Amino acid sequence: MKLRHITFLILVTAVVASAQTANFPGLSAQHRKTLTNAKRYTAIPLPTWVPEGFAVEKVISKLGPRARAEGEELVIVYARKLPNGKMQRFSIEAGLGGIGGVPYDVTHTLTTPVGKVELMYEPPDLDDSSKKIKNFAITEWFNVGKTAFHYLGRYGDPEEKDPNLLVVSLADTEKILKSLKRF
């Protein structure tokens, strides 16, 4: 009888452990391997929910004893192609080389499993507060473990000039952020 209980406990533990890492949609086996290695050096927040069609496009990971402190980097990029040919791309980025504050006004404060996250979704324009910065989303830095992270709603277009790159809707952005958990 005791052997059955022990076997059952081992099976339940294995299922729970596998579910904890399998609960992050859009990760390929290679990206999972890269992030598993990276989490030896820092905590990593990942969404447990992403809109349909999103997958991790790339992981930039420069961490560990061989990485120079000023060259350390961790960026997880999610992307999907829309039926109209346009793209949506967002990232979760670690602030490993020093961080500064985001100059925009907070538009939404969200309670998430990794703590409070301040979102600036189409915030007032810095030059003309009567206008919004359309197609733009970013969060203030939030800590997961000892590392600061932020969400960038249009990864790969720092000047916001690419008309084919669209920001994720506010509702979906909030769902993504509210689903963040440690990998």
pLDDT in tens, 80-127: 999 999 999 999 999 887 677 888 989 999 999 999 999 999 999 999
Pairing of strands 87-94, 165-166: parallel
Is residue 9, in this structure, part of any structural domain at all? Answer: no
Is residue 60, in this structure, part of any structural domain at all? Answer: yes
Q: Is the dihedral of CA 20, 23, 27, 29 positive or negative?
A: positive
DSSP state of 23: T
Is residue 15, in this structure, part of any structural domain at all? Answer: no
Is residue 171, in this structure, part of any structural domain at all? Answer: yes
The one-letter code for the residue type at 162 is D
Is residue 31, in this structure, part of any structural domain at all? Answer: yes
Is residue 147, in this structure, part of any structural domain at all? Answer: yes
The token pair at 21 is 């890492």
Residue 101 CB partners (closer than 8 Å, separation 6+) = 140, 141
Distance of CA 22 to the CA centre of its chain: 16
Is residue 158, in this structure, part of any structural domain at all? Answer: yes
Number of domains, the chain: 1
Question: Cα dist. 131→18, 73, 120, 121 in Å?
Answer: 47, 34, 14, 13
Is residue 55, in this structure, part of any structural domain at all? Answer: yes
The one-letter code for the residue type at 57 is E
Provide the domain limits for residue 46: 25-182
Phi–psi pair at 2, nearest 5 degrees: -65, -35
pTM of the model: 0.84
The token pair at 60 is 């930039």
Distance of CA 93 to the CA centre of its chain: 7
Please check the confidence at residue 21 and state whether its pLDDT lies above 60: no
Cα 144 to Cα 148: distance, rounded to the nearest angstrom? 6
Which one is predicted more confidently, 1 or 112? 112
